[in-house]
A and B are shown apart, each in its own frame.
Chain A
Amino acid sequence: MSRTVRGAAATAILCLTLTACGGGSPTGAGAGAPAAPDPLDSLSTEELLEQARAEGTVSVYSFTSRIAAVEAEFERTYPGIDVVATDISSTEQIARIKAEAAAGSPGADVAYLSDAPVVLDELLDEGLLRNYVPPRVADALPAEFREPLLASRLSTKTLMFNEEAHPDGPPVQNLWELTDPEWNGRVVMVDPQIRGDYLDLMTEIVLRSEEMGAAHEALRGVPVELDEGIESAGEQWIADLYANGVVLVGDTDSVNAAVGARGQQDPPVGFTTYSDRRDNSEENRALQAATEVAPAPGIAFPAMIGLSPDAANPAAARLLVDFLMGDDSETGGTWFEPFYVPGDYPTRDDVTPPAEALPLAELGTWTIDPGASAGVRRDVADLLLTLG
């Protein structure tokens, strides 16, 4: 930490010069032409810090309450810059950012949220958020996590089973098995009609129809037969799953409890968050991820960070984004610590994922492409509606 402060002191003069000639009124420039690169975008962490000190504060909307830990750590690292954090869900952030834009009222400087397809479609494309990739970490980020909007980590919705009841490994090797009578009424997930990440899971399965078709042939030896009104193998799988009495609940914790509770004779399987496994001992559960499921056990999706185009504290906002991406150590250090949990995956390729969980490649999930999802998401939602 002191390294950063010393660095800041050393570049103070340079910063002052830059402030005077280039970054004087970034707000106006950013608001007028959202696509135009902001001079602040290319500043180093130290240069940002100098200007951020002058701003003295930064506000952030976050979809996770772990932002409280980030706030404390940030204020310890950069004394004199106050973080004002509001913890609200992605859905509510989207509604709020739109309403604030309609009112012309400045909202938070930074938005940290999931629901990527909606965010890209309704906030980024409408100019209500803008992308900023901290130069310090840009090279460590694969292109899909730099554009169109910065992603800091991946979370999952993947097939999990009860390892107490199935000590020899996952009871399912192919997603199509879930549509067999054996699993009738014994597959649990959150209703994709009320939770965006589950809709993303269904959408990805439709987008991967080719692989779904291949998996069907591998299991049954015949190609998928499409029902009337069904257009792809992915859609057919969803229709079959619903016809097979999939159990829909209201939140992930209900899935975890149904699948993971110890002492069950014949527990169901379900789609839920891999990192929830860390609560196994606390909650007396035996949740385990089903790996080697054809064609894939589920999805990984990004948590994204965007800037308000009219950020009142543009430098401090960028400094916070830089901070949220983790420090230069192998684990992202204390900056990233709240998000460094087994089963969540940092997007930076120079940060080693926590050892207690399987590497993402072994977990085998599909990583969603929010841009492609946005295009078909509504159709999938409509299909789900017809299935009830």
Chain B
Amino acid sequence: MSTTSPGLLGRTVADPVGRLGLAVSAVLAVLVVTPMVGLVASTLRPTGREAWSDVLTGRLSTSLFWEPLGNSLLVGAVTAAGSVLLGGGLAWLVVMTDAPWRKTIALLATVPFALPSFALALAWETVFRNDLVGGRAGVLADLGVAVPDWIAWGPVPVAATLIAHYFSLSFLLAAAALATVNGELMEAAEMTGATRLQVARSITLPVVTPALVSGALLAFAEGVSNFASPALLGLPVRFQTLSTRLYGAITTGQVERGYVLALLLVGVAATILFASNRIVSGRRSFATIGGKGGRRAVIRLGRSRGPLTALAFALCLSTSVLPGLILLASSFARRTNSFTGGFTTHFWVGESDPSIAQGQRGVLLDPLIIDATLTTVGLGLSVAVGATLLGTAVGYVVVRLRGLAPVTGSLTLLSYLPFLIPGIALGAAFIAQFGRPIGPVPALYGTFALLVIAGIAATLPFAAQAGRSAIGQISRDVEEAAVVAGAGLARRGGRIVLPLASRGLLAGASLVFVNIVRDLSLMVLLVTPALPLLSVLTYRYASEGFAQFANAVTVLIVLLSVGATVLARRLEGPNQPWREAAS
């Protein structure tokens, strides 16, 4: 169908998928390009131009950019590698093997992502903190164990806490992909004498590669842009990353430098994205959901069953239950982050007492909290639906529109960018963009709609990556059969693509929900008192030094996130890979 039209545009328009691509591009232009243009424009004014040279070439460039860049890349790469290794391994154990309690492991593995990243950093501090910076030492130091500085502070703990956070992201994506591995293929391979390793290398791995790469990219981007972990565990030893530099530049009034750093971050990530795209597109044939169903074969672990299960449990418990308990316990602690000063339920159900936290009521008695919970859930759901629809469209176009590299390439890049724009810059750009009426669209500032739109833009990376790896597994044959039968694009989407990709998309949607529920940096500029959000309340309590209230609200956020993840699993119903394999 593409041979008759000469130009790129002609070919694009001639193809229904191409037309969808154009529509999606237009949406992305509004959601992503405009804020980016705003960023670039503000760095091209005179003070901004100075910022470019300061960051890149001046005497400050080493400590402002190059060193933090090196640290960020290191943290990002280690986070990505660690997350994929642990998350992928766990997904394999849960989906493909006969390990016991797979359901429990699967559930626990989804929790860390629902925890705020500072919870994990806090948990690390509680255990490993040494006396380098004074104050209370951690549990180990209390027991008389000398904790070396490199375990207590710097790149090792930063990367470790980030891996503990993001491996569950890789797990979700990889598990969804593994669940589609065709059992017949594996059986066939085994019958023809392939070893277990060969099966893994030539059948399993190719199928999950896109999901693994997606997981790695997301973990990398989050690892590079995370602020809480390096601020808590890196700063005391002056371990600076791009995110701490960027945050610092913006908070100390050097906004242009912050934006320049953000743009450079975008550039670095784009390079890595293109490189990994190459790796993925080198192997195209990993479509596994064909017209025929396949029963999955279960890999028998034999003697390694016990140890592997124990390892998986250790990993999950130390990254989900332990930090969760620490968070919960510290919301009951009479003194901030101290488990020796007694406990109280005041911060949960206490009546107003002027001597504690300026008379703040316990969170469960505060009508504001109920209001905020409802708004937060409503926002999370709206954004999850919106972002998933858009992300699926992006994924569909990127996967199906072969031969139009400029279109698919730019869509991939655009859908990944919001990750790298600092939340506060994105928020400001959205106010500037939607603050005034545009044509028929009224001024959206201060409305719920603006929160939803900004939320969709910010979580698009998750939704698009999930959409892409979900669509990538649906064989083209299935759709071609439908085309022959006369089904149009919309009908194919509703009847074939969405149902078949639903497992991966649901996983993606729950990621989006979780991300929105605990997002702060973007929403803090956009919310108004009429629209209170739980995460903004947490911040408010934390910034006033009411750590217990902050922790209590964080526990609420965690309950919402974990609840959503569990619910998403339930909705998948009998399609749960581990349940199916168990029966």
Contact = CB atoms under 8 A, between A and B. Distances in A.
Contacts of A117: 253
A194 B358 contact: no
Given A66-B358, A100-B445, A268-B134, A92 B252 contact: no
Interface in A70-101: 84-89, 91-92, 94-96, 98-100
A102 B528 CA distance: 18
B134 A283 contact: no
A283 B253 contact: no
B390 interface: no
Contacts of B337: 257
A377 B134 contact: no
Interface string A105-140: 100000000010110011000000000000000000
Nearest to A121: B253
Contacts of A98: 428
Interface in A173-198: 185-186, 188, 191-196
A104 B134 contact: no
Contact of B336 (A88, A102, A196, A283): A283
A382 B54 CA distance: 9
Interface in A291-333: none
Interface stretch (A8-16, A219-227, A244-252, A345-353): A244-252
B147 interface: no
A381 interface: yes
A2 interface: no
Given A85-B529, A86-B528, A249-B133, A283 B335 contact: yes
Given A247-B132, A386-B59, A105 B445 contact: yes
Contacts of B356: 282
Given A248-B236, A258-B133, A388-B63, A95 B244 contact: no
A264 interface: yes
Contacts of A188: 133-134
Contacts of B60: 382, 385-386
Interface in B413-468: 424, 427-429, 431-436, 443, 445
A103 interface: yes
B443 A196 contact: no
B133 A87 contact: no
Contacts of B67: 388
A279 interface: yes
Given A188-B133, A250-B235, A104 B252 contact: no
A69 interface: yes
Nearest to A86: B529
Given A194-B251, A195-B251, A258 B135 contact: yes
A260 B506 CA distance: 48
B525 A88 contact: yes
Most chain B C-beta atoms within 10 Å of own C-beta, residue among A105, A118, A194: A194
Consensus secondary structure, chain B interface: helix
B435 A100 contact: yes
A96 B424 CA distance: 9
Interface string B229-249: 001100110101000110111
Categorize the interface residue count of chain A: 35 or more
Nearest to B544: A65
Given A191-B235, A247-B236, A103 B432 contact: yes
A166 interface: no
B431 A257 contact: no
Contacts of B445: 100, 103, 105
Contacts of A118: 252-253
Contact of B435 (A105, A191, A253, A284): A105
B151 to A, nearest CB: 17
Nearest to A269: B134
A199 interface: yes
A69 B254 contact: no
A288 B434 CA distance: 49
B546 to A, nearest CB: 8
Contacts of A268: 133-134
Given A196-B253, A388-B63, A253 B525 contact: no
Given A95-B424, A98-B428, A254-B135, A104 B435 contact: yes
B133 A381 contact: no
A232 B250 CA distance: 27
Interface string A344-388: 000000000000000000000000000000000110011001111
Contacts of B64: 385
A214 interface: no
B348 to A, nearest CB: 17
Nearest to B118: A250
A194 B133 contact: no
Interface in A194-241: 194-196, 199
Contacts of B196: none
Interface string A24-65: 000000000000000000000000000000000000000011
A253 B545 contact: yes
A141 interface: no
Contacts of B54: 382
A253 B336 contact: yes
A193 B261 CA distance: 14
A116 to B, nearest CB: 11
B478 interface: no
A282 B335 contact: yes
Nearest to B527: A86
A194 B244 contact: yes
A115 B253 contact: yes
Contacts of B524: 88-89, 92
Interface string B330-364: 00001111100100000000000000101100000
Of A86, A105, A193, A248, the most chain B CB neighbours within 10 A belong to A193
Contacts of B429: 99
Contacts of B63: 385-388
Contacts of A104: 435-436
A117 B527 CA distance: 26
Interface in B262-281: none
- Give the interface centre of B59, B235, B247, B252 by most chain A CB atoms within 10 Å: B252
A91 B335 contact: no
Interface in B123-172: 132-136
B543 interface: yes
A188 B236 CA distance: 9
A382 B53 CA distance: 13
A257 B253 contact: no
Given A117-B253, A253-B336, A284 B341 contact: yes
A282 B355 CA distance: 9
B540 interface: yes
Nearest to A90: B251
B547 interface: yes
Contacts of A279: 545
Interface of A: 64-66, 69, 84-89, 91-92, 94-96, 98-100, 102-105, 115, 117-118, 121-122, 185-186, 188, 191-196, 199, 247-250, 252-254, 257-259, 261, 264, 267-268, 270, 276, 279, 282-284, 338, 377-378, 381-382, 385-388
7 contacts: A95-B427, A98-B428, A99-B525, A104-B435, A257-B135, A259-B134, A283-B338
Interface of B: 54, 59-60, 63-64, 67, 132-136, 231-232, 235-236, 238, 240, 244-245, 247-255, 334-338, 341, 356, 358-359, 424, 427-429, 431-436, 443, 445, 524-525, 527-530, 540-541, 543-545, 547
Given A69-B358, A257-B337, 19 more contacts: A86-B529, A103-B432, A115-B253, A191-B248, A192-B252, A193-B240, A193-B249, A194-B235, A194-B244, A194-B248, A195-B251, A249-B235, A254-B135, A259-B135, A276-B545, A283-B338, A284-B335, A381-B254, A388-B238
The 8 closest A-B pairs by CB, nearest first: A103-B435, A105-B435, A258-B135, A250-B231, A258-B134, A99-B431, A118-B253, A193-B248
